[in-house]
Amino acid sequence: MLKVNNLRVGFTSGKRLLAAVDGISFAIAKGETFALLGESGCGKSVTAQGIMRLLPTAGRVLGGSVAMEGENLLALPEADMRAWRGGRMAMIFQEPATSLNPVLTVGQQIGEVLERHLGMTGAAATGRMVELLRQVGIADPERRLNEYPFQFSGGMKQRVMIAIALAGEPELLIADEPTTALDVTVQAQILDLLVRLQAERGMAILLITHDLGVVARMAHRIGVMYAGELVEVASREAFFSQPRHPYTQALFKALPDMSRRGQRLTTIPGQVPSLAAMPTGCRFAERCARVMPVCREQSPVWRDEQSHAVRCHWQEAVVDADVVGVGHEITDLSVSAGKEFLQVADLKVHFPIRKGLLQRTVGHVRAVDGLSLAILPGRTLALVGESGCGKTTVGKALLQLIPPTEGSVLLGGQPLVGLRGARLRSARRHMQMIFQDPFASLNPRLRVGEIIAEGMDALAVVGDARSRRETVAALLAQVGLPEEAIDRYPHEFSGGQRQRIAVARALAVQPSLLICDEPTSALDVSVQAQILNLLKKLQSELGVAYLFITHNFAVVEYLAHDIAVMYLGRIVERGRAEEVLRTPKHPYTQALLSAIPLPRLEGSTAVIRLSGETPSPANPPSGCHFHPRCPHAMDVCRSRYPESVDVTATQRVSCHLLS
């Protein structure tokens, strides 16, 4: 139905025209889901924008054709193209929060499409809108039509976006990372919805994503993009059973999961070449483990076998799963459980909500509401939970960056809460933090050397300038960066390298605990693998403990010794990693685990689907916070918060089912 042929899209940069998408061809049949997979910056979104002719001002279609039902879209005048957009082809975007117009009601925004493409107005349109909202699973659609986007939660906004897309009765839906901004449980709902709608309408979907799990769950056929080119196109079965391009293979190996625990992850060295400096031969040559001399000279051509096309000079079949880089043991799984050195008891962080004539405090956002945990030296505790459950706040409260409202934090037996000045400073030496966004966590105006030395100066770790420079150089070496980095500025480094600098900065004061707040969620899979390897290596060499804050279970499975699962400011289940992952006891943990799309053929066997979304911490449900969404909720759950129960010596769960 849709045929993209040799499409090339470029951007003007100064006087030059750089091709961001360089000759890609694929076709999508009716009722089929074609997934475009690739890391950030490889041109996935630009491809979609090129097909819709929605390029930003600097973008130009340089060549090729896009044909839908035989009609060449690129040749249409703009006015005719508008009839296609939103009509026979529709698009949904990554950020539901910003993609809806905040000052128009949901009804107005859907109605616009009905009026534009179907000429429907008045009562007919209202009826249709109600029907559409019902189809995408929004309760009470009559009332909801007159509400504004800010009155909807993230997942509901994405549902509204889908309703808008469906309104024009499209034959092709382009979904650009439709679930990346959503929580796993909500992601599962949206993916289910898309599958259902596709089955009902026989719609074709062009799904753009970077997540192999989502691909495995959704796609019929998959195209892998690298640096503006397609490098492999295959059916789902062929793709997951036998990826053939070295890049695809490396991507799979870079994925962390349980089966790789204790092993080094395979990383892809180097970075994607920049648009301005594309190599002439194979674009992956610089990073490829199979590279041959011919690769650097000739761009490989397509080889097509049983609907599995690859663009690579390397012809052998995959022999051994670990050819690309031999994994080896680095840490022992059973680090001895020594004495706890950080104990948190009943920690609460409440942010006041002010209102009224005198701005009295009328309530609190209970970001953290009675949390207890303990961290053992040299081990990794993963704190998992969905967005807004208070994970980051816990990390900051431990470091006393946010003063806790209540509760105690004991560091080696010494209380931290309420410490001030020099004593707080000396206590902080034992704990440091690594942040999520490597671009916001380094001051762009300071040199790398100054950044790393900052903590040492503040905590008076080293004295004179010479020895300080040596220490900084040693730290950089430890995280795998050259000494020259000292005199350069952060903007000269890539995301992964910046995260290394942040690690070096934290290590400079020789802490025994590193609080890592989603340190890899802003990074691509291949770079994430590098950072995870680094963290593992450092743990085995230096014996640091990690408090690893994340929502990514794959990383947890790979890295964690202990796991604590958080829901709405409280820990609902904690225990050793094996226990929590293999035999989850709390319904929320169970649902969370089953909602994760696995990057395997047999991965999508999820059974438990949660309805709704995490409630606001300003107004948590009574009793067990989870009861509105819990499939096992009982009467007692609505009235009383469950005590925590020891299931085993190490696993504790807060649920009435177990008491």
> Measured at the alpha carbon of residue 522, what is the angle toward residues 518 and 528, in degrees to the nearest 5?
80
Reference 295, options 314, 269, 277, 308; nearest CA is 314
Binding span for other proteins by CB under 8 A among 198-206, 276-284, 456-464, 576-584: 456-464
The interface mask with ligand ATP, positions 523-552, x = CB under 6 A, is ----------------------------x-
Cα separation, 438 vs 440, in Å, equals: 6
Phi, psi of 439 (to 5 degrees): -85, -25
HSE-CB for 198 with a 13 A CA cutoff: 23
C-alpha 596/C-alpha 554 separation (Å) is 9
On whether the CB atoms of residues 255 and 525 are closer than 8 A, the answer is: yes
Closest separation in Å from C-beta 280 to ligand ATP:
42
The binder of 390, among ligand SF4, other proteins, ligand ATP, none, by C-beta within 5 to 8 A per type, is: ligand ATP
**Min separation Cβ 576 and Mg ion, Å:** 25
Query: How far apart are alpha carbons 325 and 250 in whole angstroms?
Result: 9
Per-residue CA distances from 311 to 191, 231, 234 (Å): 30, 5, 12
**Binding of other proteins by 339 (CB under 8 A):** no
Q: Which does 424 bind (CB under 5 to 8 A by kind): other proteins, Mg ion, ligand ATP, none?
A: other proteins
Q: Interior CA angle at 21 toward 19 and 23, to 5°?
A: 100
Size of the site for ligand SF4 (CB under 6 A): 27
Q: Which does 499 bind (CB under 5 to 8 A by kind): Mg ion, other proteins, ligand SF4, none?
A: none
* Site for ligand ATP contains 387 (CB under 6 A): yes
Give the footprint of ligand ATP on residues 329-358 (CB under 6 A).
351
The strand pair at 380-384 and 562-567 is best described as parallel
Outline where 543-634 has alpha helix (H). 553-559, 577-582, 587-595
Sequence letter at residue 400: Q
Contacts of 600 (CB under 8 A, 6+ apart): 216, 240
| Residue 148 binding other proteins, by CB under 8 A | yes
Interface pick for other proteins out of 440, 601, 634, 636 (rule CB under 8 A): 440
The helix/strand/coil state of 457 is helix
Closest CB to ligand SF4 among residues 157, 313: 313
Q: Does 154 bind ligand ATP (CB under 6 A)?
A: no
| Contact call for residue 284 and ligand SF4 (CB under 6 A) | yes
Residue 624 interacting with ligand SF4 (CB under 6 A): yes
Cβ(325)–Cβ(257) below 8 Å: no
The stretch among 354-362, 371-379, 380-388, 506-514 that binds ligand ATP (CB under 6 A) is 380-388
Residues of the shown chain interacting with ligand SF4 in the complex, contacts defined by CB under 6 A: 246, 282, 284-285, 288, 290-292, 295, 300, 312-314, 586-587, 624, 626-627, 630, 632-634, 637, 642, 655-657
Residues of the shown chain interacting with other proteins in the complex, contacts defined by CB under 8 A: 52, 54, 57, 79, 82-87, 90-91, 93, 95, 98-105, 112-113, 116-117, 148, 150, 161, 164, 168, 355-358, 396, 399, 401, 424-425, 428, 431-433, 435-437, 440-446, 451, 454-455, 457-459, 489, 491, 502, 505-506, 509
